[in-house]
Amino acid sequence: MMDAPVVVIVVFLLQVSISESLLIVQTTQPDPVVHVGSEVLLQCSFTVTSGAIDVKQLTVTWIQYALTVAKYDQEDLIERPRLSLNAEGMKSGNASLLIRSVHFDDGGQYRCIVQHKRKEGDVDIYVSVRATPQVSIKLETNLSLSEGVVTCEAVSFYPRAISFNITRKGETLKTERLTSDQSPSRWRLPDGSFSARSVYTFDASDIRNSRDTMSCEVTHASVDQPITVSTKPGVPVVSLVGTAVLLHASQVVCCAKNFYPSKVVFTWRRSEEVIKSETPQASRTPTGTFTAESSLEFIPDSREPVSCQVEHMTGASERKYVTNACDSGRLAAQLMDVLRKVEALASESTKEQAVEDMCRRCREQLDSLRSAITATD
């Protein structure tokens, strides 16, 4: 006696639920990925295998983490802000849920439940919310410690896992992966996104007299390719502003522009004697470089030149000398004063004595004038 044939029927169903073969609920996108701020349509459709859809006997419920977020109940709509169902689409089996202006808390597990004429079916959808990090790199120095610091920062990203790779001329200096829940290098922002940074410390002499490019590469789930930002040291451009007038109280400003990173040292000298040294707070320009200045108040003397030297962590050093101006009006007034005194002296003294005094005073004034003119050449 022959064995009866065995028939095996295998039915593959992806994200499909069938209730007594009369109601089929399904989705074509079980795992949508959406960026924060955009909108997403959670696709859910249903088919009635016998007869037409009767909206008066139809209930569609959307649940997120066991909480009802939207519902269509026999032509009545219940929706939360930013969430909406298509009432007209229900007639053709469209139970999709539209989420506008996606927030971080919109991510997670959803369930679309359809009830029609006492039949029920459902399908699960998992929404992944992404936010692309804003990445920046900063190069700083501590001149007193001869130390340099590269800081790579990623701001407002989601989800939390992120990786940093800091390089110089393509050579890896540091790699850091932040994946665990707790990390001192990462913190959560009030809007639910994350920020993180990776810091690399080095000997400032490593890049002294160097213009090597330093880069930071950030890898995150929100982007297909790593995000790369770069920076390199910039040498300061030095100039002097102001007028130094011989024998007058004067002020001159020493300016340093277009340098990076932000620390420079200003040193003022009279001849070779240091009279002032400071590291003022630098200001960032729109181009990302820095500018700083130092001022000096003094009385110029033609015999002792005044200079300003600017030193930067790149090893760059530039020294500018103050140019003294001659106050010709003041000197002319002094000479006229001498002549008036000589005329008065000539009327009171002998001719010989008047001539002798006049010559002496004129020689003194001429020597002063000659020195002033020589200093301004």
Q: Around 98, how many Cα atoms within 13 Å sit in the side-chain half-sphere?
A: 9
104-121, pLDDT tens digit by residue?
A: 999 999 999 999 988 999
Query: With 50 as the cut, is the pLDDT of residue 309 above it?
Result: yes
Query: With 70 as the cut, is the pLDDT of residue 62 above it?
Result: yes
Residue 276: both structure tokens together:
């002032």
142-186, pLDDT tens digit by residue?
A: 666 577 889 999 999 999 999 999 998 889 999 999 987 667 788
- Amino acid present at 298: F
The whole-number pLDDT of residue 202 equals: 85
226: preceding bond cis by omega (within 30 degrees): no
The whole-number pLDDT of residue 2 equals: 40
Q: Name residue 71's beta-bridge partners.
A: 61, 78
Q: Quick one: 132 exposed, middle or buried, by C-beta within 10 A (0-12, 13-18, 19+)?
A: middle
Predicted model pTM: 0.65
The whole-number pLDDT of residue 157 equals: 95
- DSSP annotation of 330 reads H
The whole-number pLDDT of residue 215 equals: 94
Q: Across all residues in the chain, what is the average pLDDT?
A: 83
* Average pLDDT estimate for 31-53: 94
Distances (CA, A) of 274 to 169, 242, 266, 268, 277: 39, 20, 11, 6, 7
* Average pLDDT estimate for 333-340: 61
Percent of the chain with pLDDT over 90: 55
The whole-number pLDDT of residue 18 equals: 43
